[in-house]
Every structure is written in structure tokens, then in C-alpha cells.
Amino acid sequence: MTCLHAPSRRELLLASGALFAWTYLPRIARAEGRDPRFLTIILRGALDGLGAVAPVGDPGWIALRDDKALKLEGEHAALPLDSFFALNPAMPNFHRLYKAGQATVVHAAATPYRERSHFDGQDILESGLPKPGTAETGWLNRAFASIEPGGRVDARGREAFAVGPVTPLVVRGPAPVLSWTPPRLPPASDDTLMRLLDLYRHTDPALARALEERMGLAAIARAGGINQDPNNPAAKQAGVAQVRAYFAEATGSAAKFLGRPDGPRVGALAFDGWDTHANEGASDGRLAQLLGALDGAIAAIETEMGPAWRETVVAVVTEFGRTAHINGTEGTDHGTATVALLAGGALKGGRVIADWPGLKPSDLQDGRDLKPTTDLRAVLKGLLKDHLRVADDALANKVFPGSGAVRAAIGLVG
């Protein structure tokens, strides 16, 4: 019976697919009597930063987005952050943390990437390299490896941790990664379904019919077009609940692992679905639902991290932003600058950090996008340096190669 073998722990974890990475506790931090945790959440598809954190104090804001603009008054009133910015109302937990000095918004931020391809943008966001191309390792993993030369995993499993079905590029690399996947991956998103239906309707009506019927959408299709019509409310509610549950389960589990005394100290996970080309719904539609799920996920981290929340930083980042204007299908197209959302008990928070570029046509990048005024790498370097004690030269050369001119942001944690 030599053919039969029990899977090793590693095989089991890889097979079941999760994504945290854990590696050594940073030695310097430990010497200071700290035990820092760092989790990064990648939002794939490009988050509309203006829909998440609105510049309500900018005189051009209402004119820019018209009835799609988040406002401080009305049914879906945005939550004020300071005299200029307000948070999407779907994020009460993040707002509470902000008020408690445990959350920070960085606005008008972007990676060095200036084109608008998701794939390349995600590669740059996660690899930390200045240009697209085949990347095998991510900045978070390299940061770990640089903290502990060799990056070996010790026998008790005090490695770095990653959560998700495929280990995200950001945490792949020389330092060993353990991964864990929630057993219930989310079902295909409405967005994926709509894209597929659109393809079928143009190329294979029989498959379109089969899918529509199975999805309970036949009635809507007959009524005159999936694209214009909101989804079947019941199916939509179920989908939203599943997305919320998946986000909370994935992050909550990550936090449980990171919170353990013998657990990993660094984690990464990725959420898809932010590519809101049509019917974006910042205040009460799809984007609001996604942000609500993200807000719930942040709350789950806080809860599950327990006492370790005090020593935690969560960084939520996306590949690029979206157009400043609403497009012809009530959505936004690929853009440039956006927000980064930071949360955690280790932050010196309660601030929106922005060198605001303005919204006038002449202020916009290429006449269409929010102009980037903060290099996202400066933010990440600041966190890695002050929270995890990654050395300056490693940050400039290994973690974000060629970023010597980009100074690490100071005072983010404290």
C-alpha cells in the first residue's frame, strides 16, 4: 500500500487554499517589547476612492458627480471625517475607529503605475516593482525576508501567514508562506455573471438562456435587458449576504491566526469585485454593499484579534482609482489616484492624509482622473519601517526597488 499517503500539514493547507503568510517576529520589535501584527487587504478591480471617501468640502465636488455625489445631508448621508472629507455611510465601523484614533485615510494616493490595465496595475501594487512584467515575489514577503535574513520558518510554525484561495502575489516570495482558505469560497459575483451573460447574449443564445433560467433572471431579461435593470431583489440580497459573510469569515480567520501568541505576524488577503463600470451605486448600490462588507471585515478583524488589536495595522489598498466623472452607464472607468484605508490599534489615526490636488478640469490627471499626489509606496514604507522595523536600505532596494527617492511617511503609527 505504498501508494497511499496522508497529506502533510503543508499539503493540506495548500490544498484547502488559504492565504496568510507568517514569518518570524521582527527581532528589533521584540527587543522593544512589542509584538506587531500587519495585515494587508488587496481590493482587486480598482476602488473608486472618491466614492469611498468624498471631498465634500471641495467646491467642485457636487458639480463633478451630481446626484451620484456623496453628501453630508439626505437619506444616505456621508459620515464626516474632518471639515473637508466624509466617509461612505456604509462604513460605520471604520468611522468609529477613525474617531477613536485607530483609523487613517490616505487620499489621492497611487502606485507608480500610470496606465490603466488591471493586470499590470495589480502586479505593480503587489510586487512593489516600479514597472509591470513577470514578478514572482511581493513586497510584503520581501519585507519579511529582510527582517530575518534567510527567512526560515521555525519549528513551532512562527512563520508569516497569508489567507485566501491563491496566495496573493504581495505575500509570495523567499519567506515561507502558510496559507488557509475559507472552505466556502464566494459564489461568482454579480459582476462576473453579468459579464458572462453579456458574452453569451452576443455569441451563444442557448447558453445565455440556460444561464438566465438557472439564475432566475429570465424574467428580467425578457423585461428588456440585464444592463439597465437592477437584479432580482431576492437573489441580490442573498448574494450580498454571501459576500459579507465571506469577507468577514476570511478576515476574521486571518485575525484569529495573527492574534495567537504562537501565530503568524503578517498576513495578506484579496477581495475582488471593485470594477464598477456600470451602476456603481456609491451611496446605496453595489459599491455601498462592497464597502459595507469591507467595513464588516474590518470589524471582524478588530474583534478576532482580541488584545493584539492594540499592536495591529491593517492596510487596505487597490491597484488604481477610477475616473473622477460618472460615465454614461452610471459607473466609473479606470482611473489613477484613489484612497488607501488604514485601521488598527497601533495607528496614530483620526486623520485624512492628503495633499489635495483639486477637482477642476485642469487639476485632473489626463483631464479625467483624480491626480496622484502621494506615492502609495511612501505610506507602505512608513508602516513597514515604524511598525515592523524594516530597515531603510531594505525598503529602498529590496522591498520597493528603485524607490530611494520616495521617502517613507512618518508618524503613521505611534
Partner 1 sequence: MALDPKFEAALALHRFGFGPRGDAIARIAADPRGAMLAEIERPNAGRIDNPDLLTGGEAARAAFDFRQEKKAVRLAEAADREAAKNGTAQPAPRPEKMDPAMADPFLQTQTGAMKLTLEEAQRKAANPPALPQQIYLEEAKARFDAAVATDIGFAERLVWFWSNHFCISADKGPTRPLCGAFEREAIRPHVAGRFADMLMAVESHPAMLIYLDNARSIGPSSIAGMRQNKGLNENLAREILELHTLGVRTGYTQDDVTSFAKVITGWTIEPLKQNAPHAGEFAFNPRMHEPFSQTVAGKAYADGGLDQGKAVLADLARHPATAKHIALKLARHFVADNPPPALVERLAKRFRDTDGNLKEVTKSLVTAPESWSAPRAKLKRPSEWLVASLRAGGVELKDVRPLVQAQNLLGEPLWRPPAPNGFSDDSTTWMDGLAQRLDIANRFGQRVPTQLEADAMVETALGPLASEETRSAVKRAESRPQALALLLMAPEFQRR
Binding interface with partner 1 (CB under 8 A)? 1-9, 11-17, 44-46, 118-119, 122-123, 134-135, 157, 164-167, 169, 172, 180, 182-189, 191-193, 195-196, 198-200, 202-204, 206-207, 210-211, 214-215, 249, 252-253, 256, 272-275
For 116-274, where are the alpha helices, taking DSSP H only?
118-127, 139-147, 190-203, 205-214, 218-224, 233-259
Whose Cβ is closer to partner 1: residue 192's or residue 228's? 192
Give the three cell numbers for residue 370: 483624480
Question: Do residues 164 and 237 lie in contact, with contact meaning Cβ atoms separated by under 8 Å?
Answer: no
CB of 196 to partner 1, least distance (A): 5
Minimum separation from the CB atom of position 88 to partner 1 (A): 20
Smaller CB separation from partner 1, 26 or 168: 168
Of 83 and 203, the one with the shorter C-beta distance to partner 1 is: 203
List of residues 6+ apart from 369 with CB closer than 8 A: 321, 322, 323, 324, 335, 336, 337
Closest CA to 346 of 314, 381, 301, 368: 314
| Minimum distance from residue 307 beta carbon to partner 1 (Å) | 18
Alpha carbon distances (Å) from 108 to 341, 375, 393: 12, 9, 26
> In angstroms, what is the minimal distance from the CB of 397 to partner 1?
23
Q: In the numeric block, which cell numbers belong to residue 65?
A: 458627480
Return the axis-axis angle of helices 139-147 and 376-388, rounded to nearest 10°.
30
Q: Which is nearer to partner 1, 178 or 352 (CB)?
A: 178
Strand partners for 266: 21, 38
The least CB distance from residue 112 to partner 1, in Å, is 20
Looking at beta carbons only, is 333 or 386 nearer to partner 1? 333
For partner 1, which is the closer residue by CB, 89 or 252?
Answer: 252
> Least distance from C-beta 29 to partner 1, angstroms?
23
